[in-house]
Copies of this chain bind each other. A is one copy, B any other.
Amino acid sequence: MRAVEIREYAETDWPQVWPIVREVVRAADTFPYDPGMTEGEARDTWLERPPGLTVVAAEDGRVLGTAKMGPNKPGPGSHVSTASFMVPGDARGKGVGTALCRFALGWAREQGYAGMQFNAVVETNRAAVDIYERLGFELIGTVPGAFEHPEHGRVGLHIMYCAF
């Protein structure tokens, strides 16, 4: 693939970001989000305000994926970051998820976070788990059966962590 540019989300990206969020959330196989999420709820959920950040992966003006990042918890938990990534079906397998995750890790390091935590990685989402492990995340534990997968039934949710 050509180099994908990762840049800060701009309001003009929404017409391309919303269909990605809608597709991923409605598939209900990777995110513990309400699959009936409205466009307004998607905006509230996905568009971070400082100290968080939302970005897009773009190639020739086409948005191929999106990520959000920021503190995982407020107050005494705010030195640990978290991030989420969405890549639509027709853009998968091209390294977009890896590029987004690398970007998020670099951003969080620059911001001075102590590490990055993922709270709910669906264990059947092997593509994601592989990327995270390759980029330095370790498995903290798995909550058994915590995710109702549309095909596989109840599968585990991994908690993963990357210390900086």
| Residues of A in contact with B (beta carbons under 8 Å apart) | 25, 28-29, 31-35, 72-80, 114-115, 117, 119-120, 139-150, 154, 157, 159, 161, 163
Given contacts A77-B32, A120-B77, contact A144 B163 (CB under 8 A): yes
Given contacts A77-B120, A120-B73, A120-B77, contact A142 B143 (CB under 8 A): no
Assess the A146–B120 pair: CB atoms within 8 A: no
Q: Is B148 touching A76 in the complex (CB atoms < 8 A)? A: yes
| Number of copies of this protein chain within its complex | 2
* A76, A117, A163, most chain B CB atoms within 10 A: A76
CB pair A79 B148 closer than 8 Å: yes
CA distance A31 to B147 in the complex (A): 25
- Provide the bound-state CA to CA distance between A13 and B30, in Å: 40
